[in-house]
Structure 1
Amino acid sequence: MDTMTQNPVISPQMADLCSPARIPQIAARNLCKEFVSGGRRVVALQDVNVVIERGQFCCIVGPSGCGKTTFLRIVSGLETHTSGELRLTHFNQTKPLLSMVFQEQSIFPWMTVADNVEYGLRMRKVPKAERRDTVRHYLEKVGLSQFAGSFPHQLSGGMKQRVSIARAFANDPEILLMDEPFAALDEQNKAILQEELLRIWEESRKTVLFITHSIDEALVLSDRALVMTARPGTLKADIDVPLQRPRGAYEIRSSPGYAELNERMWKELREEVMHARLTKELA
Protein backbone atom coordinates (compact mmCIF):
# COMPACT_ATOMS: atom_id res chain seq x y z
CA MET A 1 0.00 0.00 0.00
CA ASP A 2 1.24 3.47 -0.87
CA THR A 3 0.03 6.63 0.83
CA MET A 4 0.98 10.23 0.35
CA THR A 5 1.15 12.96 2.99
CA GLN A 6 2.23 16.53 3.00
CA ASN A 7 5.60 17.40 4.48
CA PRO A 8 4.60 18.04 8.12
CA VAL A 9 5.65 20.82 10.43
CA ILE A 10 7.39 19.34 13.47
CA SER A 11 5.85 20.61 16.69
CA PRO A 12 8.10 21.93 19.52
CA GLN A 13 7.14 18.87 21.59
CA MET A 14 8.07 16.51 18.77
CA ALA A 15 11.31 18.38 18.19
CA ASP A 16 12.40 17.45 21.71
CA LEU A 17 12.68 13.83 20.53
CA CYS A 18 14.65 14.60 17.38
CA SER A 19 18.33 14.75 16.67
CA PRO A 20 19.35 18.42 16.41
CA ALA A 21 21.30 17.66 13.25
CA ARG A 22 18.68 15.64 11.33
CA ILE A 23 14.95 15.78 10.67
CA PRO A 24 13.26 12.47 11.44
CA GLN A 25 11.39 10.49 8.81
CA ILE A 26 9.10 8.82 11.37
CA ALA A 27 8.41 10.34 14.77
CA ALA A 28 5.91 9.17 17.40
CA ARG A 29 5.27 10.94 20.68
CA ASN A 30 3.10 9.45 23.46
CA LEU A 31 1.37 7.32 20.83
CA CYS A 32 -1.51 5.20 22.20
CA LYS A 33 -3.93 2.77 20.61
CA GLU A 34 -7.03 1.35 22.28
CA PHE A 35 -9.79 -0.85 20.94
CA VAL A 36 -12.75 -2.84 22.23
CA SER A 37 -12.69 -6.64 22.07
CA GLY A 38 -15.50 -8.77 23.46
CA GLY A 39 -16.90 -5.77 25.28
CA ARG A 40 -13.57 -5.10 27.00
CA ARG A 41 -11.29 -2.13 26.52
CA VAL A 42 -7.87 -3.26 25.35
CA VAL A 43 -4.81 -1.01 25.36
CA ALA A 44 -2.59 -2.19 22.52
CA LEU A 45 0.00 0.61 22.59
CA GLN A 46 0.77 3.00 25.42
CA ASP A 47 2.99 6.09 25.26
CA VAL A 48 5.24 4.98 22.42
CA ASN A 49 8.01 7.53 21.87
CA VAL A 50 10.39 6.89 19.01
CA VAL A 51 12.20 8.75 16.24
CA ILE A 52 13.51 6.99 13.13
CA GLU A 53 15.81 9.04 10.96
CA ARG A 54 15.92 9.07 7.19
CA GLY A 55 17.83 6.12 5.78
CA GLN A 56 17.84 4.01 8.96
CA PHE A 57 17.06 0.31 8.87
CA CYS A 58 15.13 -0.17 12.10
CA CYS A 59 13.74 -3.47 13.43
CA ILE A 60 11.06 -3.81 16.09
CA VAL A 61 11.22 -6.93 18.25
CA GLY A 62 8.74 -7.95 20.93
CA PRO A 63 6.55 -10.77 22.24
CA SER A 64 3.39 -11.83 20.41
CA GLY A 65 0.54 -9.41 20.97
CA CYS A 66 2.75 -6.50 22.04
CA GLY A 67 1.48 -4.15 19.33
CA LYS A 68 4.37 -4.35 16.83
CA THR A 69 2.10 -4.83 13.83
CA THR A 70 -0.43 -2.35 15.21
CA PHE A 71 2.28 0.30 15.29
CA LEU A 72 3.31 -0.54 11.73
CA ARG A 73 -0.29 -0.33 10.54
CA ILE A 74 -0.68 3.07 12.19
CA VAL A 75 2.45 4.31 10.42
CA SER A 76 1.09 2.95 7.13
CA GLY A 77 -2.28 4.65 7.58
CA LEU A 78 -4.19 1.35 7.74
CA GLU A 79 -5.18 2.15 11.35
CA THR A 80 -5.48 5.34 13.37
CA HIS A 81 -4.01 5.96 16.80
CA THR A 82 -6.24 6.85 19.74
CA SER A 83 -4.04 9.60 21.13
CA GLY A 84 -0.56 11.03 20.87
CA GLU A 85 1.26 12.35 17.83
CA LEU A 86 2.69 10.73 14.70
CA ARG A 87 4.63 12.59 12.02
CA LEU A 88 5.97 11.25 8.74
CA THR A 89 8.31 13.56 6.84
CA HIS A 90 7.94 13.40 3.06
CA PHE A 91 11.20 14.71 1.64
CA ASN A 92 10.51 14.23 -2.08
CA GLN A 93 6.91 14.83 -3.12
CA THR A 94 7.53 13.29 -6.55
CA LYS A 95 7.95 9.84 -4.95
CA PRO A 96 5.50 7.77 -2.91
CA LEU A 97 5.89 8.18 0.83
CA LEU A 98 5.72 4.49 1.68
CA SER A 99 5.13 0.92 0.55
CA MET A 100 4.34 -2.09 2.70
CA VAL A 101 5.38 -5.75 2.46
CA PHE A 102 3.10 -8.08 4.42
CA GLN A 103 3.84 -11.38 6.13
CA GLU A 104 1.55 -13.28 3.77
CA GLN A 105 2.07 -13.10 0.04
CA SER A 106 0.11 -10.09 -1.23
CA ILE A 107 0.90 -10.09 -4.93
CA PHE A 108 -1.94 -10.22 -7.44
CA PRO A 109 -2.58 -13.83 -8.56
CA TRP A 110 -4.00 -12.79 -11.95
CA MET A 111 -0.89 -10.81 -12.90
CA THR A 112 2.46 -12.05 -14.10
CA VAL A 113 5.58 -11.48 -12.02
CA ALA A 114 6.60 -8.54 -14.21
CA ASP A 115 3.13 -6.99 -14.08
CA ASN A 116 3.08 -7.28 -10.29
CA VAL A 117 6.43 -5.50 -9.98
CA GLU A 118 5.28 -2.84 -12.44
CA TYR A 119 1.94 -2.21 -10.71
CA GLY A 120 2.86 0.79 -8.53
CA LEU A 121 4.78 2.44 -11.36
CA ARG A 122 1.80 2.03 -13.68
CA MET A 123 -0.56 3.53 -11.11
CA ARG A 124 1.76 6.54 -10.88
CA LYS A 125 1.77 6.82 -14.67
CA VAL A 126 5.54 6.43 -14.95
CA PRO A 127 6.54 6.34 -18.65
CA LYS A 128 6.46 2.87 -20.17
CA ALA A 129 10.16 2.70 -21.06
CA GLU A 130 11.14 3.70 -17.52
CA ARG A 131 8.74 1.12 -16.08
CA ARG A 132 10.24 -1.59 -18.25
CA ASP A 133 13.80 -0.74 -17.22
CA THR A 134 12.89 -0.54 -13.54
CA VAL A 135 11.08 -3.89 -13.59
CA ARG A 136 14.01 -5.53 -15.38
CA HIS A 137 16.46 -4.06 -12.83
CA TYR A 138 14.61 -5.30 -9.75
CA LEU A 139 13.75 -8.71 -11.16
CA GLU A 140 17.45 -9.17 -11.79
CA LYS A 141 18.22 -8.02 -8.23
CA VAL A 142 15.92 -10.66 -6.70
CA GLY A 143 16.94 -13.38 -9.15
CA LEU A 144 13.60 -13.68 -10.95
CA SER A 145 14.44 -12.44 -14.45
CA GLN A 146 13.62 -15.80 -16.01
CA PHE A 147 10.24 -15.86 -14.26
CA ALA A 148 9.02 -12.46 -15.51
CA GLY A 149 6.16 -14.06 -17.46
CA SER A 150 5.18 -16.56 -14.75
CA PHE A 151 2.10 -16.32 -12.56
CA PRO A 152 2.15 -16.49 -8.73
CA HIS A 153 0.67 -20.01 -8.62
CA GLN A 154 3.79 -21.20 -10.45
CA LEU A 155 6.14 -19.81 -7.77
CA SER A 156 7.32 -21.05 -4.38
CA GLY A 157 6.59 -19.08 -1.22
CA GLY A 158 10.06 -17.60 -1.17
CA MET A 159 9.81 -16.54 -4.79
CA LYS A 160 6.48 -14.80 -4.13
CA GLN A 161 8.09 -12.80 -1.33
CA ARG A 162 10.88 -11.84 -3.72
CA VAL A 163 8.22 -10.44 -6.02
CA SER A 164 6.73 -8.47 -3.10
CA ILE A 165 10.14 -7.00 -2.26
CA ALA A 166 10.89 -6.17 -5.89
CA ARG A 167 7.50 -4.46 -6.24
CA ALA A 168 8.04 -2.39 -3.10
CA PHE A 169 11.50 -1.18 -4.11
CA ALA A 170 10.50 -0.64 -7.75
CA ASN A 171 7.84 1.85 -6.70
CA ASP A 172 10.68 3.85 -5.07
CA PRO A 173 9.02 4.87 -1.78
CA GLU A 174 10.86 6.87 0.85
CA ILE A 175 9.75 4.49 3.62
CA LEU A 176 9.52 0.70 3.39
CA LEU A 177 7.34 -1.03 6.00
CA MET A 178 7.83 -4.79 6.40
CA ASP A 179 5.67 -6.98 8.64
CA GLU A 180 7.56 -10.25 9.28
CA PRO A 181 7.92 -10.89 5.55
CA PHE A 182 10.16 -13.95 6.00
CA ALA A 183 8.40 -15.56 8.97
CA ALA A 184 6.86 -18.43 6.99
CA LEU A 185 10.08 -19.40 5.18
CA ASP A 186 12.59 -22.10 6.03
CA GLU A 187 15.95 -20.98 7.39
CA GLN A 188 17.83 -21.36 4.11
CA ASN A 189 15.37 -19.28 2.08
CA LYS A 190 15.11 -16.77 4.90
CA ALA A 191 18.89 -16.24 4.87
CA ILE A 192 18.93 -15.82 1.08
CA LEU A 193 16.12 -13.26 1.16
CA GLN A 194 17.70 -11.37 4.05
CA GLU A 195 20.88 -11.00 2.01
CA GLU A 196 18.95 -9.97 -1.11
CA LEU A 197 17.02 -7.38 0.90
CA LEU A 198 20.24 -5.99 2.35
CA ARG A 199 21.92 -5.85 -1.04
CA ILE A 200 19.03 -3.84 -2.54
CA TRP A 201 18.79 -1.62 0.54
CA GLU A 202 22.51 -0.82 0.42
CA GLU A 203 21.94 0.78 -3.00
CA SER A 204 18.97 2.93 -2.00
CA ARG A 205 19.34 3.43 1.78
CA LYS A 206 15.60 3.84 2.18
CA THR A 207 14.09 4.22 5.62
CA VAL A 208 12.98 0.72 6.65
CA LEU A 209 10.75 -0.27 9.57
CA PHE A 210 10.86 -4.06 9.87
CA ILE A 211 8.82 -6.18 12.30
CA THR A 212 10.30 -9.47 13.48
CA HIS A 213 10.11 -11.98 16.32
CA SER A 214 13.72 -12.98 15.73
CA ILE A 215 16.64 -11.42 17.60
CA ASP A 216 18.99 -12.93 15.02
CA GLU A 217 17.07 -11.38 12.13
CA ALA A 218 17.09 -7.98 13.82
CA LEU A 219 20.87 -8.15 14.23
CA VAL A 220 21.44 -9.33 10.66
CA LEU A 221 19.37 -6.53 9.15
CA SER A 222 19.18 -3.44 11.30
CA ASP A 223 21.11 -0.34 12.23
CA ARG A 224 18.96 -0.17 15.31
CA ALA A 225 16.65 -2.55 17.17
CA LEU A 226 13.67 -1.44 19.24
CA VAL A 227 12.50 -3.88 21.94
CA MET A 228 8.86 -3.58 22.96
CA THR A 229 7.22 -4.64 26.21
CA ALA A 230 4.36 -7.08 26.51
CA ARG A 231 0.91 -5.51 26.07
CA PRO A 232 0.25 -2.70 26.47
CA GLY A 233 3.21 -2.26 24.17
CA THR A 234 5.68 0.51 24.74
CA LEU A 235 9.35 0.98 23.98
CA LYS A 236 11.56 -0.84 26.49
CA ALA A 237 15.00 -0.62 24.86
CA ASP A 238 16.56 1.17 21.90
CA ILE A 239 19.71 -0.70 20.86
CA ASP A 240 22.25 0.43 18.27
CA VAL A 241 23.54 -2.37 16.02
CA PRO A 242 26.98 -1.11 14.89
CA LEU A 243 27.96 -4.32 13.11
CA GLN A 244 29.96 -3.77 9.94
CA ARG A 245 28.20 -3.55 6.58
CA PRO A 246 27.78 -5.12 4.09
CA ARG A 247 26.57 -8.16 6.02
CA GLY A 248 26.07 -11.82 5.25
CA ALA A 249 23.20 -13.58 7.00
CA TYR A 250 25.48 -16.29 8.42
CA GLU A 251 28.87 -14.56 8.42
CA ILE A 252 27.56 -11.78 10.66
CA ARG A 253 27.20 -14.24 13.55
CA SER A 254 30.97 -14.45 13.89
CA SER A 255 31.42 -10.66 13.90
CA PRO A 256 32.94 -9.03 16.99
CA GLY A 257 30.13 -7.80 19.19
CA TYR A 258 27.40 -10.04 17.73
CA ALA A 259 27.21 -12.38 20.72
CA GLU A 260 27.10 -9.49 23.21
CA LEU A 261 24.30 -7.77 21.28
CA ASN A 262 22.36 -11.02 21.04
CA GLU A 263 22.66 -11.59 24.78
CA ARG A 264 21.69 -8.01 25.58
CA MET A 265 18.58 -8.15 23.41
CA TRP A 266 17.52 -11.49 24.90
CA LYS A 267 17.86 -10.11 28.42
CA GLU A 268 15.60 -7.22 27.46
CA LEU A 269 13.13 -9.48 25.70
CA ARG A 270 12.97 -12.56 27.93
CA GLU A 271 11.04 -10.91 30.76
CA GLU A 272 8.49 -9.54 28.32
CA VAL A 273 7.99 -12.90 26.61
CA MET A 274 7.40 -14.58 29.99
CA HIS A 275 5.01 -11.82 31.03
CA ALA A 276 3.05 -12.16 27.79
CA ARG A 277 2.79 -15.93 28.27
CA LEU A 278 1.60 -15.57 31.86
CA THR A 279 -0.98 -12.97 30.91
CA LYS A 280 -2.31 -15.21 28.13
CA GLU A 281 -2.55 -18.22 30.47
CA LEU A 282 -4.47 -16.22 33.09
CA ALA A 283 -6.88 -14.68 30.56
Structure 2
Amino acid sequence: MLIFNKKADLQNHLMPYIQANSPIGLVPTMGALHQGHLALMERSLAQNTITVVSIFVNPTQFNNPEDLEKYPRTLETDAEKIKTLSADIIIFAPGVDEMYHGNTVSQHYSFDGLENQMEGAHRPGHFDGVGTIVKKLFDIVQPTNAYFGEKDFQQLQIVRKLVEKNHIPINIVGCPITREPSGLAMSSRNERLSPDEKTGAAFIYKTLLEAQDKFKNESISTVKQYVTEAFAAHPEFKPDYFEIAREDSLEPATLKENTKYRAFVAVFLGNVRLIDNISLN
Protein backbone atom coordinates (compact mmCIF):
# COMPACT_ATOMS: atom_id res chain seq x y z
CA MET A 1 0.00 0.00 0.00
CA LEU A 2 1.34 3.40 -1.01
CA ILE A 3 1.20 6.28 1.48
CA PHE A 4 2.25 9.74 0.33
CA ASN A 5 2.93 12.68 2.63
CA LYS A 6 4.09 15.13 -0.03
CA LYS A 7 1.92 16.68 -2.73
CA ALA A 8 4.62 16.47 -5.38
CA ASP A 9 5.20 12.75 -4.79
CA LEU A 10 1.51 11.98 -5.10
CA GLN A 11 1.15 14.10 -8.22
CA ASN A 12 4.13 12.38 -9.87
CA HIS A 13 2.54 9.01 -9.16
CA LEU A 14 -0.85 10.10 -10.55
CA MET A 15 0.46 11.81 -13.68
CA PRO A 16 0.38 8.70 -15.94
CA TYR A 17 -3.28 8.15 -14.99
CA ILE A 18 -4.12 11.80 -15.66
CA GLN A 19 -2.33 11.74 -19.02
CA ALA A 20 -4.14 8.54 -20.00
CA ASN A 21 -7.51 10.01 -18.96
CA SER A 22 -7.98 7.08 -16.60
CA PRO A 23 -10.71 7.81 -14.04
CA ILE A 24 -9.35 8.77 -10.62
CA GLY A 25 -11.51 8.59 -7.50
CA LEU A 26 -10.94 10.74 -4.41
CA VAL A 27 -12.38 10.06 -0.96
CA PRO A 28 -11.52 13.02 1.33
CA THR A 29 -11.50 12.09 5.03
CA MET A 30 -10.13 13.31 8.35
CA GLY A 31 -9.26 9.75 9.36
CA ALA A 32 -10.66 7.80 12.32
CA LEU A 33 -12.22 5.69 9.59
CA HIS A 34 -15.38 3.64 10.01
CA GLN A 35 -17.62 1.54 7.79
CA GLY A 36 -19.18 4.66 6.30
CA HIS A 37 -15.82 5.76 4.93
CA LEU A 38 -15.15 2.26 3.61
CA ALA A 39 -18.48 2.34 1.76
CA LEU A 40 -17.32 5.49 -0.05
CA MET A 41 -14.09 3.73 -0.98
CA GLU A 42 -15.96 0.69 -2.28
CA ARG A 43 -17.99 2.98 -4.53
CA SER A 44 -14.82 4.61 -5.79
CA LEU A 45 -13.08 1.29 -6.43
CA ALA A 46 -16.03 0.19 -8.55
CA GLN A 47 -16.08 3.36 -10.65
CA ASN A 48 -12.43 4.34 -11.11
CA THR A 49 -9.09 2.94 -12.24
CA ILE A 50 -7.38 4.25 -9.13
CA THR A 51 -8.60 5.55 -5.77
CA VAL A 52 -6.94 8.10 -3.50
CA VAL A 53 -8.02 8.48 0.13
CA SER A 54 -6.88 11.65 1.85
CA ILE A 55 -6.42 11.54 5.62
CA PHE A 56 -5.99 15.05 6.98
CA VAL A 57 -7.44 16.67 10.09
CA ASN A 58 -8.09 20.12 8.67
CA PRO A 59 -7.59 22.80 11.35
CA THR A 60 -9.39 25.58 9.47
CA GLN A 61 -12.81 23.91 9.68
CA PHE A 62 -12.80 23.61 13.48
CA ASN A 63 -14.39 26.42 15.46
CA ASN A 64 -13.53 24.86 18.80
CA PRO A 65 -9.78 24.38 19.48
CA GLU A 66 -10.61 21.67 22.04
CA ASP A 67 -12.58 19.77 19.40
CA LEU A 68 -9.59 19.93 17.04
CA GLU A 69 -7.25 18.72 19.79
CA LYS A 70 -9.51 15.79 20.70
CA TYR A 71 -10.14 14.66 17.14
CA PRO A 72 -8.68 11.13 16.86
CA ARG A 73 -5.58 10.68 14.73
CA THR A 74 -5.23 6.99 13.91
CA LEU A 75 -3.28 6.75 10.66
CA GLU A 76 -1.86 3.26 11.26
CA THR A 77 -5.25 1.81 12.18
CA ASP A 78 -6.85 3.63 9.26
CA ALA A 79 -4.30 2.17 6.85
CA GLU A 80 -5.04 -1.34 8.12
CA LYS A 81 -8.77 -0.83 7.60
CA ILE A 82 -8.19 0.43 4.06
CA LYS A 83 -5.92 -2.51 3.32
CA THR A 84 -8.72 -4.95 4.16
CA LEU A 85 -10.67 -3.34 1.31
CA SER A 86 -7.85 -3.07 -1.23
CA ALA A 87 -4.08 -2.74 -1.04
CA ASP A 88 -4.27 -0.73 -4.26
CA ILE A 89 -5.88 2.29 -2.59
CA ILE A 90 -3.45 5.18 -2.27
CA ILE A 91 -3.34 7.15 0.97
CA PHE A 92 -2.47 10.84 0.99
CA ALA A 93 -1.64 11.88 4.55
CA PRO A 94 0.00 15.32 4.50
CA GLY A 95 0.96 17.49 7.45
CA VAL A 96 -0.53 20.91 8.10
CA ASP A 97 2.51 22.74 6.74
CA GLU A 98 2.42 20.69 3.55
CA MET A 99 -1.16 21.84 2.90
CA TYR A 100 -0.97 25.41 4.25
CA HIS A 101 2.73 26.37 3.98
CA GLY A 102 2.79 28.03 7.39
CA ASN A 103 -0.31 30.16 6.67
CA THR A 104 -3.11 28.13 8.24
CA VAL A 105 -6.06 30.29 7.28
CA SER A 106 -9.14 29.75 5.14
CA GLN A 107 -9.97 31.36 1.86
CA HIS A 108 -13.36 33.10 1.95
CA TYR A 109 -16.03 31.55 -0.24
CA SER A 110 -19.57 32.43 -1.24
CA PHE A 111 -21.77 29.39 -1.69
CA ASP A 112 -24.88 31.39 -2.64
CA GLY A 113 -26.23 31.28 0.90
CA LEU A 114 -25.82 27.56 1.51
CA GLU A 115 -23.08 28.40 4.01
CA ASN A 116 -25.40 30.54 6.17
CA GLN A 117 -27.84 27.79 7.12
CA MET A 118 -27.71 25.29 9.99
CA GLU A 119 -24.07 24.23 10.47
CA GLY A 120 -22.90 27.52 8.98
CA ALA A 121 -25.04 29.54 11.36
CA HIS A 122 -23.77 27.59 14.38
CA ARG A 123 -20.14 27.23 13.27
CA PRO A 124 -19.01 30.54 11.71
CA GLY A 125 -16.28 30.10 9.10
CA HIS A 126 -16.63 26.31 9.09
CA PHE A 127 -17.51 26.05 5.42
CA ASP A 128 -14.73 28.42 4.40
CA GLY A 129 -12.41 25.83 5.96
CA VAL A 130 -14.17 22.99 4.16
CA GLY A 131 -14.07 24.81 0.82
CA THR A 132 -10.40 25.68 1.27
CA ILE A 133 -9.20 22.15 1.95
CA VAL A 134 -11.46 20.47 -0.61
CA LYS A 135 -10.28 22.89 -3.32
CA LYS A 136 -6.66 22.17 -2.38
CA LEU A 137 -7.27 18.40 -2.58
CA PHE A 138 -9.01 18.75 -5.94
CA ASP A 139 -6.08 20.76 -7.30
CA ILE A 140 -3.57 18.17 -6.09
CA VAL A 141 -5.34 14.94 -7.07
CA GLN A 142 -7.32 16.15 -10.10
CA PRO A 143 -9.92 13.42 -9.57
CA THR A 144 -12.59 12.41 -12.04
CA ASN A 145 -15.01 11.56 -9.23
CA ALA A 146 -15.05 12.62 -5.57
CA TYR A 147 -17.11 10.85 -2.92
CA PHE A 148 -18.91 12.41 0.05
CA GLY A 149 -21.40 10.90 2.50
CA GLU A 150 -24.91 12.26 2.90
CA LYS A 151 -24.53 12.35 6.71
CA ASP A 152 -22.90 15.73 6.11
CA PHE A 153 -25.57 16.66 3.56
CA GLN A 154 -24.99 20.39 3.89
CA GLN A 155 -21.29 19.84 3.25
CA LEU A 156 -22.17 17.74 0.20
CA GLN A 157 -24.26 20.59 -1.22
CA ILE A 158 -21.48 23.06 -0.40
CA VAL A 159 -18.94 20.97 -2.33
CA ARG A 160 -21.33 20.70 -5.29
CA LYS A 161 -21.66 24.49 -5.25
CA LEU A 162 -17.86 24.88 -5.01
CA VAL A 163 -17.45 22.78 -8.15
CA GLU A 164 -20.23 24.61 -9.97
CA LYS A 165 -19.05 28.14 -9.18
CA ASN A 166 -15.38 27.42 -9.88
CA HIS A 167 -16.09 25.40 -13.04
CA ILE A 168 -14.13 22.41 -11.72
CA PRO A 169 -14.53 19.36 -14.00
CA ILE A 170 -15.17 16.85 -11.21
CA ASN A 171 -18.22 14.66 -10.65
CA ILE A 172 -19.39 14.86 -7.02
CA VAL A 173 -20.94 11.58 -5.86
CA GLY A 174 -23.20 11.65 -2.81
CA CYS A 175 -23.41 8.33 -0.97
CA PRO A 176 -26.11 7.15 1.47
CA ILE A 177 -25.60 7.39 5.23
CA THR A 178 -24.12 4.26 6.77
CA ARG A 179 -25.75 3.46 10.09
CA GLU A 180 -25.08 1.31 13.13
CA PRO A 181 -27.57 -1.57 13.64
CA SER A 182 -29.33 0.76 16.11
CA GLY A 183 -29.80 3.39 13.40
CA LEU A 184 -27.18 5.78 14.77
CA ALA A 185 -25.37 7.45 11.86
CA MET A 186 -21.76 6.28 11.76
CA SER A 187 -19.35 9.04 12.71
CA SER A 188 -15.80 9.30 13.99
CA ARG A 189 -17.26 11.27 16.91
CA ASN A 190 -19.23 8.20 18.04
CA GLU A 191 -15.98 6.82 19.49
CA ARG A 192 -16.13 9.58 22.11
CA LEU A 193 -19.50 8.33 23.40
CA SER A 194 -19.69 6.01 26.39
CA PRO A 195 -21.37 2.62 25.73
CA ASP A 196 -24.57 3.87 27.40
CA GLU A 197 -24.50 7.12 25.42
CA LYS A 198 -23.96 5.24 22.18
CA THR A 199 -26.99 3.06 22.90
CA GLY A 200 -29.10 6.07 23.83
CA ALA A 201 -27.99 8.03 20.75
CA ALA A 202 -30.18 5.75 18.60
CA PHE A 203 -33.02 8.03 19.76
CA ILE A 204 -31.82 10.65 17.24
CA TYR A 205 -32.58 8.48 14.22
CA LYS A 206 -35.77 7.16 15.79
CA THR A 207 -36.98 10.76 16.12
CA LEU A 208 -36.06 11.52 12.51
CA LEU A 209 -38.03 8.49 11.34
CA GLU A 210 -41.05 9.74 13.30
CA ALA A 211 -40.63 13.16 11.71
CA GLN A 212 -40.46 11.56 8.27
CA ASP A 213 -43.69 9.68 8.93
CA LYS A 214 -45.51 12.73 10.30
CA PHE A 215 -44.36 14.88 7.37
CA LYS A 216 -46.59 12.84 5.04
CA ASN A 217 -49.81 14.20 6.53
CA GLU A 218 -48.97 16.99 8.94
CA SER A 219 -47.72 20.55 8.61
CA ILE A 220 -44.08 21.51 8.88
CA SER A 221 -44.73 23.44 12.08
CA THR A 222 -46.46 20.41 13.62
CA VAL A 223 -43.52 18.15 12.76
CA LYS A 224 -41.04 20.64 14.22
CA GLN A 225 -43.11 20.94 17.39
CA TYR A 226 -43.14 17.15 17.74
CA VAL A 227 -39.34 16.95 17.47
CA THR A 228 -38.87 19.80 19.96
CA GLU A 229 -41.08 18.02 22.49
CA ALA A 230 -39.43 14.63 21.84
CA PHE A 231 -35.99 15.96 22.72
CA ALA A 232 -37.36 17.96 25.66
CA ALA A 233 -38.57 14.66 27.10
CA HIS A 234 -34.98 13.35 26.92
CA PRO A 235 -32.93 16.01 28.73
CA GLU A 236 -29.69 14.11 28.21
CA PHE A 237 -29.80 15.63 24.71
CA LYS A 238 -29.14 19.33 24.22
CA PRO A 239 -30.41 20.26 20.74
CA ASP A 240 -28.35 22.72 18.73
CA TYR A 241 -30.96 22.91 16.00
CA PHE A 242 -33.69 20.98 14.19
CA GLU A 243 -34.63 22.22 10.75
CA ILE A 244 -36.76 21.16 7.82
CA ALA A 245 -35.21 22.62 4.69
CA ARG A 246 -35.29 22.43 0.92
CA GLU A 247 -32.61 20.08 -0.36
CA ASP A 248 -31.51 22.43 -3.15
CA SER A 249 -31.13 25.74 -1.30
CA LEU A 250 -31.10 24.43 2.31
CA GLU A 251 -33.44 27.29 3.15
CA PRO A 252 -35.81 26.59 6.06
CA ALA A 253 -39.25 25.53 4.88
CA THR A 254 -42.55 26.81 6.23
CA LEU A 255 -45.04 25.62 3.61
CA LYS A 256 -44.87 22.42 1.57
CA GLU A 257 -44.20 22.96 -2.12
CA ASN A 258 -43.38 20.67 -5.02
CA THR A 259 -39.76 20.16 -4.07
CA LYS A 260 -37.55 17.81 -2.04
CA TYR A 261 -37.26 18.39 1.69
CA ARG A 262 -34.90 17.03 4.30
CA ALA A 263 -34.89 17.16 8.09
CA PHE A 264 -31.61 18.11 9.77
CA VAL A 265 -30.66 17.80 13.42
CA ALA A 266 -27.63 18.61 15.56
CA VAL A 267 -27.58 17.69 19.25
CA PHE A 268 -25.10 17.43 22.07
CA LEU A 269 -24.99 14.19 24.02
CA GLY A 270 -22.61 14.79 26.89
CA ASN A 271 -19.86 16.88 25.29
CA VAL A 272 -20.14 15.18 21.88
CA ARG A 273 -21.97 16.98 19.09
CA LEU A 274 -23.84 14.64 16.73
CA ILE A 275 -25.54 15.47 13.43
CA ASP A 276 -27.97 13.51 11.27
CA ASN A 277 -30.53 14.06 8.54
CA ILE A 278 -33.24 12.25 6.62
CA SER A 279 -35.05 12.73 3.33
CA LEU A 280 -38.70 13.57 3.92
CA ASN A 281 -40.23 12.92 0.51
Q: What TM-score do the two structures reach when normalised by structure 2?
A: 0.28
Relative contact order: is structure 1 or structure 2 higher (C-alpha 8 Å, sep ≥ 6)?
1
More helix by share: 2
Length-normalised TM-score, structure 1: 0.28
